[in-house]
């Protein structure tokens, strides 16, 4: 599997046990670029992005192996409640779906966000992932 799929409620539960930030939990290791896609149920833009992101992940995982990690955090949104979506927005500080993040771990700062965009083109996201992999490699060597 090229993209790890995680339900937001599961992520929230795991996060509550760790007592660290969402970024720290998602980007535990130096030397890797962590690409996070925050998606929501019944989101047309998320459905449109899904196969494109899957294809990008397969290409970049083949090229960079374990230097890039793709994670999809999926938010449920039943017609009767916005609660889970609101909690997700609090945890990640986003507003729209899909939101894509790229995280790196830096020796003196922990996990940092180096990219955020809503529904980017895969070309743009791919270029930013390539840059992040280079940065991750450089940061790991400087350690």
65-79 confidence digits (pLDDT tens) = 999 999 999 999 877
Contact 140, 30 (CB under 8 A): yes
Contact 35, 129 (CB under 8 A): yes
Pairing of the two strands 33-40 and 99-106: antiparallel
3-state DSSP assignment of residue 72: strand
| Angle, CA 68 vertex, CA 102 and CA 129 arms, to 5° | 45
Strands (E), the chain: 3-7, 33-40, 68-75, 99-106, 110-118
Residue 143: predicted pLDDT: 75
Of the options 3.90.1150.10, 3.40.30.10, 3.40.50.880, 1.10.3720.10, the CATH number for the domain spanning 3-142:
3.40.30.10
Q: Where are the domains of the chain?
A: 3-142
pLDDT tens digits for 17-52? 998 999 999 999 999 999 999 999 999 999 999 999
pTM: 0.95
């Amino acid at each position: 599997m090229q993209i790890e799929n995680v339900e937001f409620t599961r992520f929230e539960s795991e996060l509550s046990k760790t007592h660290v930030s969402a970024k720290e939990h998602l980007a535990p290791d130096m030397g890797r670029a962590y690409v996070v896609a925050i998606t929501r149920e019944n989101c047309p833009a998320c459905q449109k992005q899904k196969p494109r992101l899957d294809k990008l992940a397969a290409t970049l995982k083949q090229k960079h192996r374990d230097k890039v990690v793709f994670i999809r955090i999926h938010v449920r949104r039943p017609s009767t409640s916005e609660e889970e979506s609101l909690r997700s927005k609090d945890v990640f500080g986003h507003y729209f779906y899909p939101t894509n993040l790229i995280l790196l771990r830096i020796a003196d700062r922990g996990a940092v966000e180096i990219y955020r965009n809503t529904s980017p083109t895969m070309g743009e996201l791919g270029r930013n992932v390539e840059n992040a992999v280079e940065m991750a490699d450089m940061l790991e060597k400087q350690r």
